[in-house]
């Protein structure tokens, strides 16, 4: 039996880095990148639907967090249902921590129920669900935002071995305890219980969601997190995929297929010289698919005012091509120290030269200090005057 394992579509997600922010912070970026990012998440859903159809999968299993929250707007719901309607393959949706099966569950809302395609089924009831003859899914949906027990473990505890000739897939959401042993969150999935259920034939594959990075258990490779089909954050490992699973009673043969197109890139750079700025410029210029790439920078070093002005121009220029370019202040330590060359290169006269000299005096470090507002004013002056490098 073949099926597609996926999770964490998070339709309706917004990312702060893609939103409208002042030019100083984001190089003039507008919220247009957010709209493209939202569309990309739907594109990934449509791509995995085409994949499932082409692979002749028995079903697509979405292990939680179909939507970003139960509060997404009706436009998000409508477009999601349109995307799901393009599938020929049956789709099973499990409520997760973002869209739990509580009183406000989006998967039970009238606007979703009314638009839901006939081949889409919501697994909001815990327990065993027959999908087709000989194939069952054991669902462990989230019933609230903050469950106090291992929901997967609850289902496995009352489960009998699968009948002969029946394949069973466990559908769960949440992180396994071995992935963060120090976290005492009560809803953590106990890996030993899942291993035991696989060993005695209560289930034959454990399809999990919640972890946005793909992950395979080292002891039994039938325990897997599919990861998110489209990247959502900078700390994810190898996102943008879905899993095609060929399953029998003894083994699972899993193929990873790419459906995502966006990238979130982190880059650390030490900036002390013009050559360092050249290298950063070249690094950003070389990144492909800039309109689908968000970059987060951590910068350390010491620059003159001229160099800092050049850096500001460099980031602003690249920010127009990328989905986003952001310097993370809490991970950066970039000092700006004015020098005599900075004042000379401004080539100012009269009142402007006197004002610049006063700003330099205030901005110059004394015992490791200097007036930050004066340095900012001088950086702006350098940009306005546009002194050549």
Q: What is the CATH number of domain 2-258?
A: 3.60.21.10
pLDDT of 388 reads 47
Supply angle C-alpha 153, 158, 162, rounded to 5: 100
From the list 139, 14, 25, 131, the residue with the least C-alpha distance to 72 is 14
Smallest Cα–Cα separation from 292: which of 263, 266, 320? Answer: 263
Please report the pLDDT score of residue 285 as a whole number: 98
User: What SS3 state is found at 194?
Assistant: helix
> What is d(CA 152, CA 63) in angstroms, rounded to the nearest whole number?
12
pLDDT tens for each residue of 253-303 = 999 999 999 999 999 999 999 999 999 999 999 999 999 999 999 999 999
Q: Residues 179-223: pLDDT tens digits?
A: 988 778 899 999 999 999 999 999 999 999 999 999 999 999 999
Long-range CB pairs of 26-35 (<8 Å, 24+ gap) are 26/319, 26/324, 26/325, 26/326, 27/315, 27/316, 27/317, 27/318, 27/319, 27/320, 27/325, 28/316, 28/319, 28/320, 29/319, 29/320, 29/324, 29/325, 33/291, 33/294, 33/323, 33/324
Closest CA to 255 of 243, 237, 240, 238: 243
Residue 297 CB neighbour total at 10 angstroms: 21
Cβ pair 321, 291 in contact under 8 A:
yes
Enumerate residue ranges in the chain where pLDDT < 70: 20-30, 339-389
pTM passes above 0.75: yes
Question: Half-sphere exposure (CA, 13 Å, Cβ side) for 269?
Answer: 24
- Cα 52-53-56 angle, rounded to 5 deg: 85
Please list the residue range(s) of the chain that carry CATH number 3.60.21.10.
2-258
């Amino acid at each position: 039996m073949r099926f597609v394992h996926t999770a964490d579509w998070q339709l309706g997600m917004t990312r702060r880095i893609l939103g409208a922010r002042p030019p100083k912070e984001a190089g003039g970026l507008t919220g247009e990148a957010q709209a493209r990012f939202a569309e990309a998440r739907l594109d990934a859903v449509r791509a995995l639907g085409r994949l499932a159809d082409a692979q002749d999968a028995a079903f697509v299993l979405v292990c939680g967090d179909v939507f970003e929250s139960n509060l997404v707007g009706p436009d998000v719901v409508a477009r999601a249902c349109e995307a799901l309607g393009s599938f020929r393959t049956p789709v099973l949706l499990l409520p997760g921590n973002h869209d739990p099966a509580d009183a406000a569950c989006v998967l039970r809302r009238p606007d979703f129920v009314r638009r839901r395609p006939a081949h889409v089924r919501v697994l909001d009831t815990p327990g065993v669900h027959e999908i087709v003859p000989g194939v069952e899914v054991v669902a462990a949906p989230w019933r609230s935002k903050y469950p106090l027990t291992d929901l997967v473990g609850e289902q496995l505890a009352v489960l009998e071995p699968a009948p002969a000739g029946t394949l069973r897939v466990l559908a769960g959401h949440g992180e396994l305890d071995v992935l963060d042993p120090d976290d005492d969150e009560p809803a953590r999935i106990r890996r030993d219980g899942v291993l035991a259920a696989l060993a005695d034939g209560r289930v034959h594959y454990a399809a999990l969601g919640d972890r946005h990075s793909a992950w395979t258990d080292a002891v039994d490779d039938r325990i897997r997190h599919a990861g998110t089909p489209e990247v959502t954050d900078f700390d994810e490992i190898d996102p943008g995929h879905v899993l095609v699973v060929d399953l029998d009673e003894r083994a699972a043969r899993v193929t990873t297929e790419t459906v995502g197109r966006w990238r979130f890139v982190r880059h650390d750079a030490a900036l002390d010289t013009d050559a360092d700025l050249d290298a950063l410029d070249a690094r950003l210029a070389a990144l492909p698919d800039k309109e689908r790439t968000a970059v987060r920078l951590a910068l350390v070093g010491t620059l003159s005012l001229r160099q800092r002005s050049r850096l500001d121009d460099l980031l602003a220029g690249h920010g127009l091509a990328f989905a986003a370019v952001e310097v993370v202040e809490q991970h950066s330590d970039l000092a700006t120290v004015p020098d005599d060359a900075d004042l000379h290169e401004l080539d100012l006269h009269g009142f402007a030269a006197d004002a610049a000299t006063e700003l330099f005096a205030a901005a110059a470090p004394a015992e490791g200090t200097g007036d930050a507002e004066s340095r900012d004013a001088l950086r702006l002056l350098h940009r306005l005057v546009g002194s050549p490098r």
